[in-house]
Structure 1
Amino acid sequence: MPATGHVVFAILGDVHPDDPAARLDERVDTWRPDLVRSIGRVWPDRTAAEHAELADRLVAVARAGYAGRPADLRALDERRLAEPDWFQRPDMLGYAAYADRFGGTLAGVAEHTGHLRDLGVTYLHLMPLLTPRPAPNDGGYAVADYRSVRPDLGDVEDLRDLATTLRGEGISLCLDLVLNHVAREHAWAAAARAGDADKRAYFHIHPDRSVPDAFEATVPEVFPDFAPGSFTWDDEVDGWVWTTFHDYQWDLDWGNPDVVCEFAEIVCFLANLGVEVLRLDAIAFLWKRLGTSCQNQPEVHDLTRILRTVARIACPALLFKAEAIVGPADLPAYLGVGDNAGRVSDLAYHNSLMVQLWSMLASRDVRLAAVALQQLPQPPAITSWLTYARCHDDIGWAIDDTDAWRAGLEGAAHRRFLSDWYAGVFPGSWARGLVFQDNPATGDRRISGSLASLAGLESGDPGAVDRILLVHAVILGFGGLPVLWMGDEVGLLNDLGWADDPAHAGDNRWVHRPRMPWDGDRPVVPPGAEPVAAGVRHLLRTRAALPHLHAAHPTETWDPRDPGVLLVVRRAPEGPLLLAANVTDEERWVADDVLHWLGLHSPRLTDAITGARPELRDGAVRLAPYQCAWLYAARG
C-alpha cells in the first residue's frame, strides 16, 4: 500500500502517458522550486538572479540526462512513480559485496545471480567499482574516474549488462558515489596541479598553515593511524590540500556551484547505465565550517536535496542512500526533518541499531539500546531505514554519553568494554575481532571482524549459532530495508589470511572481507555453520510474507520489563507485531502486560518465526536463550 506522501509522484506518472516530453516538463515545473529553495539556503549571500541561473543550469543537466535515458529505463521510471513504496515492502532484501570477492568480475557476479534470487535478494550493493587510483586507494574509495570501471572487473558496457541482468531478476543495482573527495589522480585534481585556476577552485587549497590550523583545532582525525591530520602539503599546487581521509584523497569544495553541477551530471550518467540506488559516500563531511567538526552541517542536506531533485526530474526511478555513520542525534536529518522531510535521501543506514545490537549481546542488557533507539524519531513515511548487522567497514562505538548516563552507564567506560569484548580480551568473551584505529588521545578503538566470528562461531562458543540468528531476526524484524553482508548468510568466519595481500596488510578490515567460496552456484558453508545457513533462509522467507514489516509502518521501542529482553513494536493496519529478543544465555519471559497492552493476549497469538503458538506461563511468553520471536495475532 503506497505511503500517503507519494501521491504527487504517482500523479505525475499518469500525466500525458504517451508524451514523454510533456511528462518531463511536468516534473520540471514540480521540482524546480525545490532547486531554487535549496540553492538559496546553500548560498544565501548570492542574489535571486544567481540562484535562478544555477537552477537553470541544473535543470539543463536533468533534461540532458533524460534525453540520454534508454527506453527501458524510462519505462522503469513510470513503474516506480506508479508504485512509490516499492523499496519499502517486506519482500525487499538487500545484499552487499565486493564484486571481485563475490564473482571475480562483473560478468562473474551475473553468473551467481541464482544464489541471490534464491535468497530473495531484490537489491544488490556492489562496493566501489568505478576506476580508482592505483593502490593504495582506500578500498576503491579514492575515485580517479566516475565514468569508467576498474579494468580487472570489466568496462562500462559490462556494468550496463550486469544492471540489465539484475533488473531482469528483480534486483536493483546499488553503487557508491563518493561525494566528499576524489583521488589526487582524478582529472580535476590533475588540472589543478597543472595550474588550472577553475579546477583549483574545486578543492580546499591554502597557501600556509593559518587556515588549516584553525580548522584542525576542532576537526577530529578519521584515520589517526593511517593519516594523521586533515591537510596535506602538495608541491605541485604549492599549498595545503584538505584531505580528510588520506593524503591521496582531495576533499572537494561543495561551496563551488561547478562541483554541484559536475556531480549532477555524474548522477544522470550512472542512472542511465541502469544503477537504481546511489550510496552517497562520506556525505556527512561535505560542508566545511570553521569552529565545528565539519560534519553534519545543514548545507549537507540541502546539497543532497539539490542532487535528488535533479534525479527526480531526469531519472525518478533512482534512489539515494545516505552513508551517514553518525551519532543518533545527527542521523534523522539524513532522511529529512522539517522542510527537508522526505526530500533528501530515500534510505539511510540505521547505524544506531547495528551498534546497539552488539552492545546488547556483550552486556546481556537491553536498557541502553532501548534508551538510544527511543531517541530517534520516526523517519518520513516515504523513506526507509536500512538495517544491518555488519557491513564492509569497521564497527565504531557510536554510543551517546547522555544515552549511556540515562541507562546507568558511563559512556567512555562502556565503549572501552565493547572494544575489549569484541577484541576477545575481556574475560569470558566469545568474540574474535581485531582492534582497528586505536586512538589513545580520544579513546576511540573500533572493531573489525565477520558477524559469525564476532558472535562466537570462530571460538566454538555453544551459543554462537543462536546469537547469529538472533542478530538476523532483529535486523529483519525491526522494519526498513534489511541488508546482508556477503557471507553472513552462511556464517563465513574471519579471513585469517587477510594480511597476505600487501595492498591490504595495513588494514585489518579485510579480515571480514573474505572471498566467497563457491561450489558451483552455491556458497560453501563452513563446518558447524549449517544451522546458520538454514536458519537465515527461514527468516528471510518468513519476513517476506509479513505485511507488518512494510517500512512505512512506525516502529516503537518499548521500555524493557526485563533488562534482558528487547521489545520492539510494529504498528500496521493488520494489527501490531511485537519483536521480543532475549539477548541473554538464560530463559527469559515477555510479560503478560505487554501482550495485554497490544491486544495480543489472544488464542490467535502466533510466533511468525516458529509458525506456532508460543509457550505461555501465567500469561507470559517464554523465550529460550538468545531467542527472538515475532508475535502477532494470526487471522482466521
Structure 2
Amino acid sequence: MLSVLEQLIERVEHHLAVIYQDVELITTYPELCKQLLETMRIDNSDLLVEPKRHHNNWDQQDVMLITYGDSIEKSGEKPLHSLHDFLTKYCGDAINSVHLLPFFPYSSDDGFSVIDYSSVNEALGDWDDIRAITTDYRVMSDVVINHCSSRSAWFENFIKGEGPGSDFFYTASLKDDLSKVVRPRTSDLLRLTETPHGEKQVWCTFSHDQVDFDFRNPAVLDTFVSIMRQYLDTGIRIFRLDAVAFLWKKIGTSCINLEQTHEVVRLLRTLIEHAVSDAVIITETNIPNRQNLTYFGNANEAHGIYNFSLPPLLVNTLVTGSCKHLKSWLGSMPPSQNGTFFFNFIASHDGIGLRPAEGLLQDHELTALVNTMQNFGGRISWRTSEDGKQKAYEINIALYDALQGTVKGTDKWGLDRFICAHSIMFGLEGIPGIYIHSLLGTGNDYEKVKNTSHNRSINRHKWDYTKLQEQLALPFSQHSKVHARMIKLLNIRKEQPAFHPSATQFTLQLGEQIFGFWRQSMDRRQSIFCIFNITDEPQSIRLSDMNLIGTDTWFDLISGHTMCLEDLEYRLAPYQSMWISNIGS
C-alpha cells in the first residue's frame, strides 16, 4: 500500500502531465513535482496532513464580509487597524470570515494590478496587521493569478531581458489567429513592448497595465505555490483565485476555461490541502452559469465557486416584481457535493456582472435592467462580443441605490426591498458574502467616479471611521437601520442547522409574485420555509401550499411570531421576508 507521500507524488505528477501535455519541458515531471512539494514544504511524510475527502470545513455560522483594507479610515491610524476595530465592535459574532481585497502594492484597478505579492501596501499596514485579523477571523486573500502590474520587478526584468520574471509573460504575434479569444474588456489584447530581444506583443486580458503570465513556464507555477505558502504562514486560510478562467492560453482557441486551467486549480487544491487540511480555494470566474459550475470538477477542484448568476437575477426579480427567472434558475442548479459550496453574494467591489445572466435573461430583459439601473444613477461597463459588437458587461452601482425602486421608478420601499434581497441570499444553499457597503447601506459615490474616471469607483466608497460611528449611533439614519437589520438576520441565521451551506434545498412553486424555497438540516430535524414577497403590493399565501406538518409548531424566525396553521392564508407586506421553521430560534 502506498504511503501518504507516495500517493501525493503520484497525484501531483498526474496533474503536471495534464497541465504540460503540449509543452516541451526542460525538466521531468518527477523533478518538477519534487520542487513543488519542497516549495509548499510538504516533502516530508512526517509533516503531511491527509485531507478528508468530501468533508465540509464550514457550517451555518460561516459568513464573510468583503472589504478593502482601507474601506474604513481614521486619521493617524493604519486602515487595517481601523478595519479590525470595526469588525470587533460592529460585526461581533455575526461575521466570522473576512475577504480582504488585494492588500498589496499596486499600480491600478484598486489593487488587482499587483506590483509585489509578498508585501503589504504600506498605506494599509503590515503583515502584523494581517496576522492580527487572521487571529480573530478566517481570512480570504486574493491570489491575482492571471496577471500582474506592468510596474512589477518581474515585468521590468522582462523589459530588460534578464533576471527573475524575465520569462514569466505570455507573448503572441499580430499574425496569430486571435479571433476566438474571449475578452472582458474593449482594450487591445496585445501590448507592444520593447526588449533587448526585439519588439514583443505582450498579452493583456484586462488592461495594458495588467500583463498576463505564461504558465507554460513551470517557474511561474512554482512562484505562485511559494506565494500561497507564504500566505498560509501568515494565517490566511482561503484563497480567491482571481480571473483564473483566463489563466492558460492557446492560440486558435477561446483562451478561457481550457483543460489546463482546470488542472492547475486541481493541483493547487492538492498542494494546499496537504499543507493545511482546512485551507480552501474559491474560483472567481465571471462567466455564464454552466461554465462556472465546471470549476467544482468532481469535488476535486475549487472548494467554492462564486454564484455569479445570483446578483443580476435577484436584482431583476426585485425591480420587475417577477421571480420567474430566479425560480427557474434556482430549480435547475445542482446541489453542491459535500466538500464543496456555493459562495453567494449580491454586491461586490466590482459590479453586477451580466455575462452570468446570458441564457437566463433574454436580451430585451437585460436591456430593461440596464436602463433601470442607469435611471438609479448606475454606470455601465462594456465589452466587445464575439461578433465585434459592444455589449453591456457589468452594471456599476451601489446595491442600496440599485434597489431604490422598480422598473416604474423610485418609491418608498427601498430599504425593505434591500433587506428582502439579503434575506433571500442569507437563506440560500451556500456561504453568504456581504460587501461592507451593503452592511452599511452606502450609496453611490459619484465624487469618487469623478476623481478616478473609473465606473467601478461608484461602489468603492471610503468611510471616515469617526463619521461612520456617528451615523451608526443615530437610530434612524439610513446606515444605522441597514446595519441593525442585517446583523439581526445574520445572528438568526447562524443558529439554524437548516441553513448549513450543504443542507437540502428545494425551490417552491408559489407563483411569480412570491419567491420561496425549502431548507432541511442535514440531520433532517429542522425545516425552514423561506418565503418572500418580491413585489411592491401586499400578497397572500396559503399555508397549505407549503405542506407544513400539522403536528409541528411553526415559527417565523424573523418576526418571532408563531404560525397558526388554522389560518387559511397569510398576508405579506411588500418585500416582507419569512423564515418559517419548526424549531424556534
Using the size of structure 1 for normalisation, the TM-score is: 0.82
Alignment length (residue pairs): 566
SS of 1:447's partner is: strand
Residue deviations 1:220-267, cap 9 Å, x none?
33222xxx2211111235111100101121111122222111111111
Residue deviations 1:150-187, cap 9 Å, x none?
12123xxx32x234322443x11221110001112223
Contact preservation (8 Å) 1:386, 1:480: yes
Query: Do the aligned partners of residues 143 and 523 (structure 1) sit closer, same or farther apart at CA in structure 2, a change above 3 Å counting?
Result: farther
SS of 1:385's partner is: strand
- Deviation of the 1:500 alpha carbon: 4.8
The aligned residue for residue 293 of structure 2 is 332
Given the alignment of the two structures, is residue 94 of structure 1 paired with residue 64 of structure 2, yes or no?
A: yes
The aligned residue for residue 513 of structure 2 is 564
Which amino acid in 1 is paired with 2:341?
S
Quote the Cα distance in structure 1 between the aligned partners of 2:481 and 2:70: 27
Given the alignment of the two structures, is residue 634 of structure 1 paired with residue 583 of structure 2, yes or no?
A: yes
Given the alignment of the two structures, is residue 39 of structure 1 paired with residue 21 of structure 2, yes or no?
A: no
Quote the Cα distance in structure 2 between the aligned partners of 1:260 and 1:534: 45
Quote the Cα distance in structure 1 between the aligned partners of 2:244 and 2:225: 15
Quote the Cα distance in structure 2 between the aligned partners of 1:376 and 1:291: 32
SS of 1:444's partner is: strand
Selected match of 1:248 from 209, 223, 230: 209
Quote the Cα distance in structure 1 between the aligned partners of 2:571 and 2:12: 54
Query: Do the aligned partners of residues 612 and 116 (structure 1) sit closer, same or farther apart at CA in structure 2, a change above 3 Å counting?
Result: same
Quote the Cα distance in structure 2 between the aligned partners of 1:45 and 1:414: 43
Which amino acid in 1 is paired with 2:63?
L
Selected match of 1:189 from 150, 155, 158: 155
1:126-145 → structure 2 map (5 Å cutoff): 126-133=100-107, 137-145=108-116
SS of 1:586's partner is: coil
1:611-622 → structure 2 map (5 Å cutoff): 611-614=560-563, 619-622=568-571
Structure 2: gaps of 5 or more residues? none
Quote the Cα distance in structure 2 between the aligned partners of 1:250 and 1:485: 28
Quote the Cα distance in structure 1 between the aligned partners of 2:467 and 2:44: 40
SS of 2:70's partner is: helix
Quote the Cα distance in structure 1 between the aligned partners of 2:365 and 2:556: 33
Contact preservation (8 Å) 1:600, 1:632: no
Quote the Cα distance in structure 1 between the aligned partners of 2:487 and 2:204: 43
Structure 1: gaps of 5 or more residues? 1-24, 405-410, 425-430
Residue deviations 1:490-527, cap 9 Å, x none?
311112311353xx2x2021111111243388472483
Query: Do the aligned partners of residues 445 and 285 (structure 1) sit closer, same or farther apart at CA in structure 2, a change above 3 Å counting?
Result: closer
Which amino acid in 1 is paired with 2:556?
D
Quote the Cα distance in structure 1 between the aligned partners of 2:538 and 2:145: 48
Given the alignment of the two structures, is residue 605 of structure 1 paired with residue 579 of structure 2, yes or no?
A: no
Contact preservation (8 Å) 1:209, 1:240: yes
- Deviation of the 1:592 alpha carbon: 4.3
The aligned residue for residue 529 of structure 2 is 578
Residue deviations 1:471-505, cap 9 Å, x none?
1101111122111111322311112311353xx2x
The aligned residue for residue 89 of structure 2 is 115
Which amino acid in 2 is paired with 1:328?
N
- Deviation of the 1:350 alpha carbon: 0.9
1:371-386 → structure 2 map (5 Å cutoff): 371-386=328-343
Given the alignment of the two structures, is residue 434 of structure 1 paired with residue 379 of structure 2, yes or no?
A: yes
- Deviation of the 1:457 alpha carbon: 8.0
Identical aligned residues as a percent: 22
1:313-352 → structure 2 map (5 Å cutoff): 313-336=274-297, 341-352=298-309
Contact preservation (8 Å) 1:387, 1:482: yes
The aligned residue for residue 52 of structure 1 is 30
Given the alignment of the two structures, is residue 210 of structure 1 paired with residue 175 of structure 2, yes or no?
A: yes
Contact preservation (8 Å) 1:110, 1:166: yes
Selected match of 2:144 from 172, 178, 199: 178
Between 28-37 and 252-261, the greater mean CA deviation after superposition: 28-37
Between 464-473 and 31-40, the greater mean CA deviation after superposition: 31-40
SS of 1:149's partner is: coil
- Deviation of the 1:306 alpha carbon: 0.9
The aligned residue for residue 313 of structure 2 is 356
- Deviation of the 1:271 alpha carbon: 1.1
- Deviation of the 1:579 alpha carbon: 1.5
Q: CA RMSD in A?
A: 3.1
Residue deviations 1:557-602, cap 9 Å, x none?
34x3311122222232224322222211112234445422xx4455
1:386-465 → structure 2 map (5 Å cutoff): 386-398=343-355, 400=357, 402-404=359-361, 411-424=362-375, 431-437=376-382, 441-444=389-392, 446-456=394-404, 461-465=411-415
Given the alignment of the two structures, is residue 106 of structure 1 paired with residue 80 of structure 2, yes or no?
A: yes
Contact preservation (8 Å) 2:181, 2:255: yes
